[in-house]
Structure 1
Amino acid sequence: MTKGNINVSVENIFPLIKKFLYSDHEIFLRELISNATDATLKLKHLTSIGEAQVEYGNPKIEVKIDKENKTLHIIDQGLGMTAEEVEKYINQVAFSGAEEFLEKYKDSAKDSGIIGHFGLGFYSAFMVASEVEIITKSYKDAPAVRWVCDGSPEFSLEEVDKTERGTEIILHISDDSTEFLEEYRIKELLTKYNKFMPVPIKFGTKTETIPLPEGAAEEAKPETVEVDNIINNPTPAWTKAPSELNEEDYKNFYHELYPMQFEEPLFNIHLNVDYPFNLTGILYFPKLGNNINIEKDKIQLYQNQVFVTDEVKGIVPDFLMLLRGVIDSPDIPLNVSRSYLQADGAVKKISSYITKKVADKMVSLINANREDYEQKWNDIKVVIEYGMISEEKFYEKSDKFALYPSTEGKSYLWEELMDKIKANQTDKDGNTVILYASNKDEQHAYIQTALDKGYEVLLLDSPIVPHLIQKLETTKEKIQFARVDADHINNLIKKDEPIIAKLTDGEKETLKKEVETAVNDSKFTVQLEDLDSQDTPFMITQPEFMRRMKDMQATGGGGGMFGMGAFPEMYNLVVNSNSELASEILKTENTEEKNAKIAYALDLAKLSQNLLKGKELTDFIAKSFSKLK
């Protein structure tokens, strides 16, 4: 048996780094600025504990373009490096100085904001540069040095004259990467990745006007000066304690995140936890209405204020992907490119925490101001209902904040709804029947019929209601939902006083056969009911099960989920045997006239359900005008 060490050749590593280290070459700027930030924050920590006997001052990071020489410069005023440290941290591929620093100072530096873990970050420079220089001077009493490498295994290291503490990285941009010598491109990347870095980042200068002092002469002109153009906000709202912020601060930060969003967010949730993991952030509820197809990927993931991605699936529960905001956590495990999340226990704990935090926030909002919460319900209900369906822990708390609005403008929590309807809305099996409408205008006649009988009708109109209903029916005891235009409520609700029938059983049987013959359509099943209202002689309903399965199929569940294909069109034609029309049909001896009455009544019923279309609708309109004549 032979044992040994695998020898990784540097000649082989550099081409791989240059080509494959990151999927997006633009990441190089984020990595180099992250390194500069680390160098600055390390110095801040060392000065705070007295280990670095230097003045920290107000350091910044500067990014400069030199088009003439085809170079890009990243300059920091951090702790710099000695020649020995350059040898250790730069010449040893994948050795992370930040990680070593955190290990050495793990007790005192845990909250220093140092990014760490990314030893390959510096080498991303070779993806866009044919040659890279480092000019650096340590905060220690040591000579400044210059390191140069052209991407081959060879490098040079020499002493140079540099008096100011810190490091300058000079990228000699390759011919195939000249886009990174354009000001607009660098500004775009700085805004994307470094907008909230904890150290000020200078990119060029800008002109500012100094206001005139009080009492200045009328002819005096305000002075203009050139100042540093700082492109980032080093102290974004999520890095502050909630007690330091007011509602205006949260709204301003929302517009800083989304400058093209002109609508105000409905409310926010401030995340702040340090055990059993570290997580900060702010989530915002935008106005959603019934739209579940709005643009997702609006929540931004940061790691110690460094932008990572806006693809947060796995960290944020699916139902909250419709929200906006920021999540920042050093504990989220990422691969070397920081582009894809690893599925592990830490991520699941973070997801569970966010779910709990949102549920708690909903409870506090409805308890603090019920009226305001009810007014916002239509804009947040899709998120809440989606959460009830998809997250069990969220569903378990939902009775305290999920609203069930009625067609009459009232809103109920679950227990309030049960108290309202349990005594009056039960079926023959003792189930509490919850009547609801999905479209107040289209189902107006059915709603009115139910209201006339003293029933409560909910208005559940979001696109995921079929799934929510199924969830509620399977978890709540003896509950049944029925849409007002489904199988008629007289079959579902047990009434104390029976309705007196106007027709004998024989007359009903005759009427049923005559209507079936005249309709002659397999989509319609004719049913006779003794209704206590004369207003509706013919009514079209749909079997509750079939209608619900079609609704679920339309929103991604139901039949389509199980490969059953499209559900057939099936309807009930409910004939009110107590109506005057029923009696007229029986009395009419002329078959053609009888069939015409039935056909016209059917057309009216179809029209009320938006089922009369195309040629049928054209013929009906012509027939109606003819009757007017």
Structure 2
Amino acid sequence: MTTETFEFQVEARQLLQLMIHSVYSNKDVFLRELVSNASDALDKLRLEKLRDDALDADVSDLHIEIDVDREARTLTVRDNGIGMSYDEVGQLIGTIAKSGTASLLKELREAQDAAGAEGLIGQFGVGFYSGFMVADEVTLVTRRAGESQGTRWSSRGEATYTLERVDDAPQGTSVTLHLKPADPDNQLHDYTSEWKIREIVKRYSDFITWPIRMVPAAGEKDETPEPETLNSMKALWARSREEVSDDEYHELYKHISHDWREPLETIRLQAEGTFEYQSLLFIPAHAPHDLFTRDFKRGVQLYVKRVFIMDDCEALLPPYLRFVKGVVDAQDLSLNVSREILQQDRHIRMMQRRLTKKVLSTVKEIMAKDADRYATLWREFGTVLKEGLVTDSDNRDALLAVASFTTTHGDEPTTLARYVERMKDGQEDIYYLTGESRQSIENSPHMEAFRAKGIEVLLLTDAVDEVWVDAVGEYEGKKLRSVAKGEIDLDAEGAEQAGEEREKQAEEYSGLLGWMREQLDEEIKEVRLSTRLTVSPACVVSDAHDLTPALENMYRAMGQEVPRTKRILELNPGHPLVKGLNQAHQENADRTELAESAELLHTLAVLAEGGQPKDPAKFVKLVADRLERTL
């Protein structure tokens, strides 16, 4: 038969060299690509046979075979699928020159990083050429099902390739890689090693529909060795729920998550229509120790037609669902040539929206049906789920519906819906207070009037609580309101009498309030009488629209400069200490001692809410001096 030699176009040759040396970050993926191509060929033959029963093709034992020859240093991936004609080889394999190649190369040269280059190369989808990463020469022999004559293609990945018609080619395609010389210092990439082939197939192609068989290398076993099937072919997500046991689901979860415990919940989703995909997701029973660290690996495993693409695909679930593990298997996605970077297209966004809604609806079902499992879920992952209240406005209502919070009503967390049901007559707002712990919040001076009147307050102790309450703002028309911000008026009944009493107190304390405002000018912006204190002498509060100290500190910890906000000092006019201070001021007592008392009162208020004195040493000295005078 005549062998014809062709030259790659200049642009195509440059692109081929760039792919061989630059695209893949892990050389092992060459085998994934070849197995994936073989699997596609088997799928196509099966469909072709269904459409044309008269097609002269053997479909009795469709499979993929890997053959390694250690002495010759060759690796062959063979299938008995649809195969290719001479013309198809020339069009699909013989050249990577397509319209726009020159302009694409220009973009590649201008790309500033490897990731950008990979994304551009991905427009071609020619994973077959990944074989040149590990081989000096690649030979392809193929015969299209139903035809009598085959084709041989060969190239060293340089300037030329050859095409030849052959008569003895079996149905399907075989790709033989003439591997590069062995590197004695890098046995991990010895592609003539049986264990290495098993490892790659298990990692990337375990769920391929067709059996992947390996013929042991000559001389390692019997002279007539039996082929060994390397893949399990058990894609649990592709089977009906009735066909899969809970134990099988749990084993897959443990394999994916490296968690020895069983998952809390298994979630299946099958999307059909113009864009098909299947997913099998798991909610763990325990939060991993590094859930809130920067290095935490989030995302689910991504497959395309059962071919493994990536371990931690962050694009498929939002960050606040980073604890969810599982598998998503799509029928078609815009992937780059190395299948390592997803192109951001509408399919990815569509999948994320659907998967997110499915997870949240499952959490809602657990909440409705199993109080114990819901309590476990919220205890382990409630903090991270609340991040979605800030970042995901589209699903905010769904998140609020499944969120629960500790309150002053009892020991068990409660939902906002139940809080609203218990609101007192005339109560318009949902009250909350943030702090480091339930104990510190319940002992806060800000809670005194609410405790006295039996008004329920949300006790929020997570750092994210400082942020989401402002982002959400209200629930079912009820405003979320901090008991430590703005003015609080709980005297709905007897408002007229209370108003008269306050006017009298305002007049009585006006001199002290003005004087203290001047004395504490560097620390506070206002001194006023309090309606929220019943026991403590004083407290500090933020203005209605100001950042709280905790939120200021959070922003600074993230590297954002925020101006320091002055607070408001509130005094309890019924407390003996405040009464005595007012009387001393009216009697023109020693102003130095009065100033020290005002500073002590303010610092005590700061300490009561968990803050720190501006000058601890000075505060300690003032307290010590006062104690000394009482002895």
- CA deviation after TM superposition for structure 1 residue 454, in Å: 0.7
The separation in 2 between residues aligned to 1:82 and 1:521, in whole angstroms, is 83
Q: Which residue of 2 aligns with 1:366?
A: 367
Larger mean Cα displacement after TM superposition, 78-87 or 264-273: 78-87
1:169 to 175, 180, 191: 175
Could you give the per-residue CA deviations for residues 383-435 of structure 1, whole angstroms, max 9, x where no partner exists? 54444444454234445434344253344444332222262533xxxxx2432
Residues 176 and 262 of structure 1, relative CA distance in 2, 3 Å threshold: same
The 1:174–1:62 alpha-carbon spacing in structure 2 relative to 1, beyond 3 Å, is closer
Contact 2:213 2:227 in 1 (8 A): yes
- Give the Cα–Cα distance (whole angstroms) in 1 for the partners of residues 472 and 88 of structure 2: 64
Unaligned runs of 5+ in 2: 1-5, 99-122, 218-224
- 1:493 paired with 2:481, answer no
Q: Where does 1:101-180 land on structure 2 (aligned, <5 Å)?
A: 120-135=126-141, 142=148, 147-151=153-157, 152-155=159-162, 157=164, 159=166, 167-174=173-180, 180=189
- Matched with 1:3 is none
Larger RCO (CA within 8 A; separation ≥ 6): 2
Q: Separation in 2 of the partners of 1:168 and 1:532?
A: 84
Instruction: Measure how far apart 1:484 and its partner are.
Output: 3.2
Instruction: Identify if the C-alpha distance between structure 1 residues 205 and 507 changes in structure 2 by more than 3 Å, giving closer, same or farther.
Output: farther
Q: Give yes or no for the alignment of 1:436 onto 2:433.
A: yes
C-alpha distance in 2 between matches for 1:371 and 1:319: 22
Answer whether contact 2:142 2:172 (CA < 8 A) is retained: yes
Distance in 2 between the 1:227 and 1:14 partners?
41
2:23 pairs with 1:16: no
Aligned-residue offset at 1:32:
0.8
Q: SS state of the match for residue 328, structure 2? A: strand
Structure 1 segment 124-273 matched on structure 2, within 5 A: 124-135=130-141, 142=148, 147-151=153-157, 152-155=159-162, 157=164, 159=166, 167-174=173-180, 180-181=189-190, 183=193, 189-201=200-212, 232-259=231-258, 261-262=259-260, 264-273=262-271
Separation in 2 of the partners of 1:243 and 1:393?
34
Give the AA of the match of 1:445: N
Counterpart in the other structure of 1:539: 539
Q: Within 5 Å, which residues of 2 pair with 1:31-50?
A: 31-43=33-45
Residue of structure 1 equivalent to 2:562: 566
Q: 1:271–1:282: 8 Å Cα contact kept in structure 2?
A: yes
* Rounded Cα–Cα distance in structure 2 between residues aligned with 1:608 and 1:243: 59
Separation of aligned partners in 2, 1:70 and 1:8: 27
Q: 1:128 to 1:244 in 2, by over 3 A?
A: same
| 1:275 equivalent in structure 2 | 273
- Partner of residue 62, structure 1: 66
Deviation at 1:616, TM superposition (A): 0.9
Amino acid at match of 2:353: S
CA separation of 1:59 and 1:385: change in aligned 2, threshold 3 A? same
Per the alignment, do residues 231 and 620 of structure 1 end up closer, same or farther by CA in structure 2, a change over 3 Å counting?
farther
Match of 2:117 in 1: none
SS of structure 2 residue aligned to 1:546: coil
Which stretches in structure 1 are left out of the alignment for 5+ residues? 1-6, 97-116, 207-225, 427-431
- The structure-2 alpha-carbon separation of the partners of 1:297 and 1:544, relative to structure 1 and needing over 3 Å to count, comes to same
Question: Could you tell me which amino acid in structure 1 is paired with residue 266 of structure 2?
Answer: N
1:547 is paired with a residue whose SS is coil
**Cα deviation, residue 150, structure 1:** 1.9
Correspondence for 2:530: 529
Call closer, same or farther: CA 1:529–1:86 in 2, change over 3 Å. closer
Q: Distance in 1 between matches of 2:7 and 2:140?
A: 25
Mean alpha-carbon deviation: is it higher for 492-501 or for 567-576? 492-501
Given residue 292 of structure 2, which amino acid in structure 1 is its aligned partner?
N
CA deviation map 1:540-596 (0-9, x unaligned):
222242125973894699996xxxx51313222221111011122234444444444
C-alpha separation in 2, matches of 1:460 and 1:531:
19
Change (3 A) 1:467 1:606: closer
Distance, in Å, in 2 between the alignment partners of 1:292 and 1:544 is: 33
Which SS does the other structure have where 1:442 is aligned?
helix
Contact 1:18 1:124 in 2 (8 A): no
Rounded to whole Å, the distance in 2 between the matches of 1:424 and 1:227 is 82
CA drift at 1:31: 1.1
Structure 1 length as normaliser, TM-score?
0.75
Aligned to 2:114: none
Deviation at 1:517, TM superposition (A): 5.3
1:304: Cα distance to partner? Answer: 0.5
**Partners of 1:173 and 1:58 in 2: CA distance:** 27
- Separation in 2 of the partners of 1:82 and 1:137? 6
Q: Specify the alignment match of 1:106 in structure 2.
A: none
Residue identity opposite 2:40 in structure 1? D
CA contact (8 A) 2:424 2:455 kept: no
Residues matched between the structures, number: 567
Is the contact made by 2:269 and 2:280 (CA closer than 8 Å) also made in structure 1? yes
- After TM superposition, give the deviation of residue 456 of structure 1 in Å: 1.0
Q: Does 1:302 align with 2:311?
A: no
Superposed, 1:345-384 pairs within 5 Å as 345-382=346-383, 384=385
Alignment root-mean-square deviation, CA: 4.4
Change (3 A) 1:60 1:410: same
Question: Which amino acid in the other structure matches residue 37 of structure 1?
Answer: S
SS in 2 for 1:250: helix
1:470 aligns with 2:485: no
Structure 2 residue 615 is matched with structure 1 residue 584: no
Structure 2 partner of 1:221: none
Contact 1:292/1:382 (<8 A) preserved: no
CA change 1:580–1:614 in 2 (3 A) is closer
Deviation at 1:280, TM superposition (A): 0.5
Give the corresponding residue for 2:423: 421
Cα deviation per residue 1:455-476 (whole Å; 9 max; x = unaligned)?
Answer: 1111334444355333433675
Contact (CA 8 Å) 1:43, 1:56: kept in 2 or not? no
* Cα distance in 2 for residues equivalent to 1:384 and 1:278: 28
In structure 2, distance between residues paired with 1:332 and 1:269: 22
Cα distance, 1:328 vs structure 2: 1.4
Offset, 1:361: 2.1
Q: Does 1:457 align with 2:461?
A: no
Residue 610, structure 1, aligned to residue 607, structure 2: no
What are the superposed Cα offsets for residues 182-208 of structure 1, whole Å, 9 maximum, x if unpaired? 5576666445433433334456889xx
CA contact (8 A) 2:552 2:562 kept: no
8 A contact 1:135–1:168 mirrored in 2: yes
Q: Is the 8 A contact 2:404 2:414 kept in 1?
A: yes
Q: Distance in 2 between matches of 1:279 and 1:553?
A: 44
TM-score (norm. length: structure 2): 0.75
Q: Does the residue aligned with 1:154 lie in a helix, a strand or coil? A: strand
Does the aligned pair in 1 maintain the 2:12–2:96 contact within 8 Å? no
